[in-house]
Amino acid sequence: MKTLNTILIGAVSSVLLAGCAVGPDFRRPEPPQAERYDTLSAADAMGVEVDSQRLLLGENPPAQWWQLFNSPVLDALVQRALAGNRTMTAAQWSLVQADEFVNARAGAAAPQVSMTGGVGRQKYGAQFLGPSPKPPPFTYFAIGPTVSYALDFTGGVSRSVEQQRALAEYQQHQVEAATMSVSGHAVLQAFGIASLRAQIATVESLLERDRENLQLVKLAFDAGSVSRLDVLSAESQLASDATLLPAMRQELSEAQHALAITLGTTPADDSVPALDLEQFTLPKDIPLSVPSELARRRPDILAAEAQLHAATAAVGVAQANLYPHLELSSTMGQQSITASSLFGSASNVWSMTAGLVAPLFDGGKLRAEKRAAIAAMNASAASYEQTVLNAFGQVADCLQALGHGSDQLQAQTRAEQAARATVEMTRQSYQEGNVGILQVLDAERRYQQAKLGFVRAQAQRYVDTAALMLALGGAQPRTS
């Protein structure tokens, strides 16, 4: 009786201690208290205009950030990509798996009940019974439930559940990151296709001017007004400009194939629509999250935070393994040597046990595992900090790209306007008889070259704007 009382007292004491979890408690890292991403301070960024666009500091991009481009065609493409992309599907199923692991780990912390039953033939030997009379061989029947419960008085089980929940949260942020990645690929590939189509059309117009120029030079050569060198020069110019098309058409094919794959179809699928830059509208107002909020928005930063949380909980699991483990078990049931009397009152049996396992000597294994868990936690903390730094660098690069892209577009706009004015003046001079047709065609050719540069700069503005939305995290932050 004294022994049983001791077991019960120990069990009660363990229950009272249950809620005390060893190991460090996780605390969310504080976001960097930065006032700027780069040379653009918070005060300077408020309402600052970049060409025709305005940065709105303190406003976060919407979850469906691509709608800022006001394009139904683009909206439909992104929705198709999010619905059909296999990377999205894999990430979502991985989240389901992670959630079920949480349920499994939490279930293991609850009392475990099982039903056992058996039938057998038994014979006892002299060594077991000693001098006592030996019963004859007999058949036995047994059935009944068994209940077992591991008392989590050190919090090791709760820490393992916490770790699995953090890993599930990590997978949730991976789904968000996949959403950003897939939508970003669809948008950027759409802009690339539209840009290449516009560039190809411009080069084809340029080649048409080259052919007209060559034809006129040949006529002038036949008339004896120009030399053979002029003909060779015109042929060389046509051949040189023609080399632009194959590379552009290859880029266009690759971009179309990449978009088809992003949409979850094969490159042979002809359902990818033709895209033009005129189908998109450059956002005039660009939301720009404040630097201190970036760490609470970007899925990759939140995923790194969840990994740090899981690594912190793992330290608690490793530390709990250094302490004794106590498990209670109870068995009730029926046992009989005849099947007919198995469920009679005389066949009732029960048992209650408390088992304690404490590590004494393991060659340093458990303490080494704890040190390894601490090292993994420190590594996760460093990885988190590096992820934040990379995010700040990407936003800074995108802001600089917007500024430099604006300068480039302005320069290309001036070049195109000057080339257009030259064409108009040259045509007027031709009508007045002051210049020949070759000068007109040459001016038109230079205008097409300037227009090609303008198209590239214009498309880059769309790309830079989308890249900034992606760098800011796009989707709204989740509450935790």
- Nearest in space to 68 (alpha carbons), one of 280, 274, 275: 280
Instruction: Identify the pLDDT of residue 43.
Output: 38
212 vs 251, more confident: 251
Instruction: Identify the pLDDT of residue 1.
Output: 41
For the domain bounded by 112-151+325-358, which CATH number is listed?
2.20.200.10
* List of E strands, 133-268: 138-151
Instruction: Identify the pLDDT of residue 85.
Output: 94
Tokens 């500091």 belong to residue: 57
220 vs 382, more confident: 382
List Cα–Cα distances, 343 to 138, 220, 349, 381, 414, in angstroms. 18, 118, 11, 60, 99
Rounded distance, CA 398 to CA 380, Å? 27
3-state secondary structure of 356: strand
3-state secondary structure of 149: strand
Min mean pLDDT across 114-123, 294-303, 336-345 is at: 336-345
Instruction: Identify the pLDDT of residue 5.
Output: 43
The pLDDT confidence band at residue 2, using thresholds 50, 70 and 90, is very low
Instruction: Identify the pLDDT of residue 370.
Output: 94
The pLDDT confidence band at residue 49, using thresholds 50, 70 and 90, is low
List Cα–Cα distances, 283 to 66, 67, 356, 461, in angstroms. 10, 9, 67, 10
List Cα–Cα distances, 249 to 74, 99, 185, 445, in angstroms. 22, 46, 20, 21
Structure tokens at 28: 């969310």
Average pLDDT, the chain: 86
CATH number of 21-109+154-324+365-471, picked from 1.20.1600.10, 3.40.47.10, 3.30.365.10, 3.30.70.20: 1.20.1600.10
Residue 130: is its pLDDT beyond 60?
yes
Instruction: Identify the pLDDT of residue 144.
Output: 87
Instruction: Identify the pLDDT of residue 209.
Output: 85
Structure tokens at 127: 């060594």
Rounded distance, CA 435 to CA 431, Å? 8
Instruction: Give yes or no for a contact between 329 and 112, defined as CB atoms under 8 angstroms apart.
Output: no
If residue 355 lies in a helix (H) or strand (E), which one and from where to where? Answer: strand 348-357
If residue 352 lies in a helix (H) or strand (E), which one and from where to where? Answer: strand 348-357
Structure tokens at 97: 């798996």
Rounded distance, CA 325 to CA 356, Å? 6
3-state secondary structure of 27: coil
380 vs 152, more confident: 380
Instruction: Identify the pLDDT of residue 108.
Output: 84
Angle at alpha carbon of residue 314, lines to 309 and 316, rounded to 5° = 105
| Mean pLDDT along residues 183-212 | 93
The pLDDT confidence band at residue 195, using thresholds 50, 70 and 90, is very high
Percent of the chain with pLDDT over 90: 49
Structure tokens at 22: 């060893």
Instruction: Identify the pLDDT of residue 264.
Output: 93
Go through the chain and tell me how many residues it has.
Answer: 480
Min mean pLDDT across 182-191, 393-402, 409-418, 437-446 is at: 437-446
Instruction: Identify the pLDDT of residue 475.
Output: 56
- Nearest in space to 464 (alpha carbons), one of 393, 415, 397, 389: 397
Min mean pLDDT across 149-163, 249-263, 306-320, 388-402 is at: 149-163
Instruction: Identify the pLDDT of residue 39.
Output: 63
3-state secondary structure of 109: coil
Which phi and psi angles does 180 have, rounded to 5°? -65, -45
Task: Give me the sign of the Cα torsion angle 79, 83, 84, 89.
Answer: positive
Domain ranges of the chain: 21-109+154-324+365-471, 112-151+325-358
Residue 16: is its pLDDT beyond 50?
no
Instruction: Give yes or no for a contact between 469 and 392, defined as CB atoms under 8 angstroms apart.
Output: no
